């Protein structure tokens, strides 16, 4: 087993997740088996209860872990499904260590950061690594953050213990100062010195920059940061994140990694990455998709949705332009004009009542005007409520989540399933009610668009929600052409809806975007973009 640790310095948001994912993809291209994990400094046990504005989307794994959005990058770049064993927060470490202390597992010892917390971190990294050639580990935050010190100490110890089986990659910023007219290396020097003061000497520097770094600046970085000249690697800004593996490979990053570990391999093929980049830069057509959501103020809140839309476009050599629409804007006069200009509309997930009337207005307009529409999770639930109010004439149709009087078309599973089977099909949540998180099976109805899109009768998709569509209203909906196209295996949970007499109107309770890959677009997103192309006006 070989470990590659990716740290970041100077500022956050430099792209450590993309860097780690790209390194994984490059090593895969050389025939190595890899896995990527993340160590998060925050004290939350996981990001499941964090605001989307604080931390972006919550990425859900097959086994139901609520994780950081970078795990989505890992999956999209490598095709390797992540799990609950691939992310660790400081909150989880301390929680586990203190639980052991309360049980007496430490036999009365004074519990300290070293060795108890650092040992727990190292034990986590060593789990489930059978048959791997490389474990790539991204350390969240920025070097110097007090929260991340236990992680840095743990990987320092591993570097000392495992010697040549450990490689440290440090991602840093080389900014251009317009008034001076030059790139500045000093921030990187200070960042590396901070890392060195903690006992870690980086082997490779990845230097984020918006222009080529002159050779003399590279030599200066190498000299002051104690790395070979050819281990100062440019990480230039690129048009698409899918171009990063190509840029890193051209800079010789793959060769530097293999040289460090004294490994040889045949040159890898990156043709599939070149093909994706070609589709990004030279599309044959384009469509404009409106993404209606509650958290569009931070696009990372819908990171996987955005990427899945792009993937759907790749399948048709089409550039997808996204119009980011705040759901509350769809409650104002004139919202119809904005929707009329779109080739398709996606109504995204969320929690709480804010913005729901805007979602309902949107879905009513796209239903009536035959605009291709995809509703995801909360978006599907709002489509059900809109149809109930405006077609079934259930004027007070609502979700029990809102805490108002009315007819609960949407509710907690426990509110309308009384057969004792609820806990077998849902997971407990500290926020109350039930929570379905992770992969669940869904059975598709014959002669439906979703079955044609998936090409299968049984599918497995990832969920993250607490409320369900009440199956008791199924007959009333289907009498009016509202098809329950996918159900749970026992037939009690509506998973997919579609409109019979609409060119393309589909709602799903799950999150298909989480399993989409640039080389294997999610079936629904692929078909959604196809429908948008057909709808597109000349």
Angle CA 276–138–220, to nearest 5:
85
Q: Using an 8 Å Cβ cutoff, are 364 and 339 in contact? A: no
From the candidates 225, 231, 377, 442, give the one annotated as an active-site residue.
377
* Three-class DSSP category at 412: strand
**Active-site pick, 170, 260, 502, 511:** 511
Distances (CA, A) of 512 to 308, 377, 442, 462: 8, 10, 12, 7
Active site residue 209: no
DSSP secondary-structure letter at 520? B
Q: Which of 56, 222, 237 is nearest to 140 (CA)?
A: 56
β-bridge pairing 494-499 and 482-487:
antiparallel
3-state SS, residue 454:
helix
Residue 240 and residue 499: Cα distance in Å, rounded?
A: 35
Please choose, from the candidates 361, 280, 293, the residue with its C-alpha nearest in 3D space to the C-alpha of residue 323: 293
As a whole number of angstroms, the distance between CA 249 and CA 272 comes to: 14
DSSP-H helix ranges across 43-127? 52-55, 70-78, 90-103, 118-126
Decide: 150 and 117 in contact? Cβ < 8 Å: yes
C-beta separation of 292 from 359 below 8 A: yes
φ and ψ at 39, to 5 degrees?
A: -110, 115
Classify 99 as helix, strand or coil: helix
Peptide bond into 115 cis (omega under 30): yes
Catalytic, 511? Answer yes
Residue 250: φ, ψ to 5° = -65, -30
As a whole number of angstroms, the distance between CA 380 and CA 368 comes to 16
Helix (H) or strand (E) holding 57: none
Burial class (CB in 10 A: 0-12, 13-18, 19+), 476: middle
Q: Which residues contact 348 (CB under 8 A, 6 or more apart)?
A: 291, 292, 293, 294, 302, 305, 376, 377, 378, 379
In this structure, the number of other CB atoms found within 10 A of the CB of residue 55 comes to 17
Please say if 160 is a catalytic residue: no
For residue 219 the two structure tokens come to: 């030599």
Written as one string, the DSSP assignment of 181-198 is: TEE--HHHHHHHHHHHHT
Active site residues: 377, 511, 513
């Amino acid at each position: 087993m070989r470990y590659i640790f990716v740290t970041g310095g100077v500022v956050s948001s430099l792209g450590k997740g993309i860097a780690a994912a790209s390194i994984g993809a490059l090593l895969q291209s050389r025939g190595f088996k890899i896995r990527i994990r993340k160590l998060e400094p925050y004290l939350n046990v996981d990001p499941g209860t964090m605001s989307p504005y604080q931390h972006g989307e919550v990425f859900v794994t097959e086994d139901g872990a609520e994780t950081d959005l970078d795990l989505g990058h890992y999956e999209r770049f490598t095709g390797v499904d992540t799990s609950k064993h691939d992310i660790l927060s400081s909150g989880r470490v301390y929680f586990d260590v203190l639980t052991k202390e309360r049980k007496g597992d430490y036999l009365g010892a004074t519990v300290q950061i070293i060795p108890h917390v650092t040992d727990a971190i190292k034990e986590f990294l060593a789990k489930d690594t059978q048959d791997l050639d490389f474990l790539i580990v991204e350390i969240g935050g920025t070097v110097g953050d007090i929260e991340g010190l236990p992680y840095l100490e743990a990987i320092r110890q591993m570097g000392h213990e495992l010697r040549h089986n450990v490689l440290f990659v440090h991602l840093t910023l080389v900014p251009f100062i317009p008034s001076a007219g030059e790139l500045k290396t000093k921030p990187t020097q200070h960042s590396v010195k901070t890392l060195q003061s903690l006992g870690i000497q980086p082997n490779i520097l990845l230097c984020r920059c918006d222009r080529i770094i002159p050779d003399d600046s590279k030599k200066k970085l190498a000299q002051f940061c104690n790395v070979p000249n050819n281990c100062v690697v440019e990480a230039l800004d690129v048009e698409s994140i899918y171009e990063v593996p190509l840029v890193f490979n051209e800079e010789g990053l793959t060769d530097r990694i293999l040289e460090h570990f004294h490994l040889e391999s045949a040159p890898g093929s990156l043709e599939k990455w070149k093909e994706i980049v070609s589709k990004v830069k030279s599309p044959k057509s384009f469509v404009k998709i409106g993404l209606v959501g509650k958290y569009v103020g931070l696009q990372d809140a819908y990171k996987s949705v955005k990427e899945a839309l792009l993937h759907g476009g790749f399948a048709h050599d089409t550039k997808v332009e996204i119009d980011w629409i705040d759901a509350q804007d769809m409650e104002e006069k004139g919202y119809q004009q904005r929707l009329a200009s779109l080739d398709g509309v996606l109504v995204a997930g969320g929690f709480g009542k804010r913005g729901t009337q805007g979602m309902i207005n949107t879905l009513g307009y796209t239903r009536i005007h035959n605009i291709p529409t995809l509703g995801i999770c909360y978006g599907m639930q709002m489509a059900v409520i809109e149809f109930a109010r405006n077609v079934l004439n259930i004027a007070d149709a609502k979700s029990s989540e809102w805490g108002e009087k009315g007819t609960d078309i949407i509710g907690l599973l426990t509110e309308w399933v009384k057969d004792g089977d609820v806990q077998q099909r849902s997971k407990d949540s500290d926020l109350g009610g039930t929570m379905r998180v992770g992969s669940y099976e869904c059975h598709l109805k014959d002669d439906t668009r979703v079955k044609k899109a998936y090409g299968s009768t049984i599918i497995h998709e990832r969920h993250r929600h607490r409320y369900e569509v009440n199956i008791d209203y199924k007959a009333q909906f289907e009498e009016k052409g509202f098809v329950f196209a996918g159900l749970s295996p026992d037939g009690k949970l509506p998973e997919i809806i579609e409109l019979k007499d609409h060119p393309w109107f589909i709602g799903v309770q799950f999150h298909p975007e989480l399993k989409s890959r640039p080389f294997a677009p999610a079936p629904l997103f692929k078909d959604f973009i196809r429908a948008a192309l057909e709808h597109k006006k000349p």
